[in-house]
């Protein structure tokens, strides 16, 4: 079995997120098995939700809503 670079794994993840295509279609595009596509997609999801990555790189917008003041 050939090694899949981290760049290709991330490409697979992003391609699925952007296109919404089924695993089988993405597998055809990347010339990889459905199992491999699924494995690397889920691997990337796990990386992005783990505390070290999530707490360092994910920030939510402020929940306060500012309204413009009327200046008359």
- Give the model confidence (pLDDT) of 10-63 as tens digits: 999 999 999 999 999 999 999 999 999 999 999 999 988 888 887 887 787 777
In terms of residue numbers, what domain contains 46?
6-54
Q: Which ranges of the chain would DSSP assign to H, the alpha helix?
A: 6-19, 23-30, 34-49, 51-57
Burial of residue 16, with CB atoms counted within 10 A of its CB: 0-12 exposed, 13-18 middle, 19 or more buried = buried
Residue 68 forms part of a structural domain: no
Residue 59 forms part of a structural domain: no
Residue 15: how many CB atoms within 10 A of its CB?
17
The model's pTM is 0.71
Number of domains in the chain: 1
Angle at 43 between CA 10 and CA 50, to 5 degrees: 100
Radius of gyration from C-alpha coordinates of the chain: 19
């Amino acid at each position: 079995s050939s090694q899949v670079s981290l760049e290709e794994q991330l490409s697979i993840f992003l391609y699925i997120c952007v296109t919404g295509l089924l695993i089988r279609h993405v597998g055809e595009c990347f010339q990889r098995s459905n199992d491999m596509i699924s494995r690397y997609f889920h691997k990337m999801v796990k990386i992005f939700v783990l505390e070290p990555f999530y707490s360092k790189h994910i920030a939510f917008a402020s929940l306060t809503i500012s309204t413009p003041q009327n200046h008359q």
